[in-house]
Amino acid sequence: MREWEAKLTPVLAESLRRKRKGLVGRSWYIDETYIRVRGQWRYLYRAIDRDGALVDVMLSEHCDLVAAKAFFRSAKTVTDVTPDRVTTDGHDAYPRAIRTELGRQVRHRMSCYLNNRLEQDHRGINGRCRPMLGLKSTASAARYCRCHDELRNFLRCRSRMRQHVPAATQRWQHMRKTAIALHILANA
């Protein structure tokens, strides 16, 4: 089972990442959360756009300027989009990382209250990691976190916040997207 996870998870995550290129909004919400790996806390950088769509995910051992720059570089490369506005909490590394990686024209807002939608979105990954009592290696934790968020984003039925989607449409979309994910795994 572990060999399948190690082989298939990166394939699925990269395929879903390529499908998102250019499809995210220009207003990003960025924050980090903590995940326990081998008894030590690691930092999971996450970003979503205004509509709740995933921008990028990155697991890091450190919460510093180097990690923040790497995250912004990765997010810009994956999405092929430079945001107009970035909302973060008060982390010291973000202003400099935004200026150097995204450019000076990006408007940076720092407010813990404006970032509540992302704080609520952390529930998905934290709700899955908490029952596991942490993960055992940094490499498998990075694979798991990236694939979990990519698949969760792919299977969501809303295209914007507070959008009502009828149950029949939700079922149809879920079955169609599950078939696509299974097709990706079958070809791996």
pLDDT, tens digit, for every residue of 95-142?
Answer: 999 999 999 999 999 887 777 777 777 777 777 777 676 778 888 888
CB 12 within 8 A of CB 188: yes
DSSP assignment string, 79-126: H----SEEEE-S-THHHHHHHHHT-TTSEEEE-TTTTHHHHHHHHHHH
pLDDT of residue 137: 85
Residue pair 26/84 in contact by the 8 Å Cβ criterion: yes
> pLDDT 10s digit of each residue in the chain, 188 long?
678 888 888 898 889 888 888 888 899 999 888 888 888 889 999 999 988 888 999 999 998 999 999 999 999 999 998 999 999 988 889 999 999 999 999 999 988 777 777 777 777 777 777 767 677 888 888 888 888 888 888 988 776 666 788 889 889 989 999 999 999 989 87
Beta strands in the chain (DSSP E): 27-37, 40-49, 54-60, 85-88, 107-110
Going along the chain from its start, the domains and CATH numbers come out as 2-186 (3.30.420.10)
User: Strand, coil or helix: what is 26?
Assistant: coil
User: Could you report how far apart the first and last alpha carbons of the chain are, in Å?
Assistant: 15
Decide: helix, strand or coil at residue 3.
helix
Contact 150, 180 (CB under 8 A): no
**Residue 187, SS3 per DSSP:** coil
Written as six digits, the tokens of 74 are 């990765």
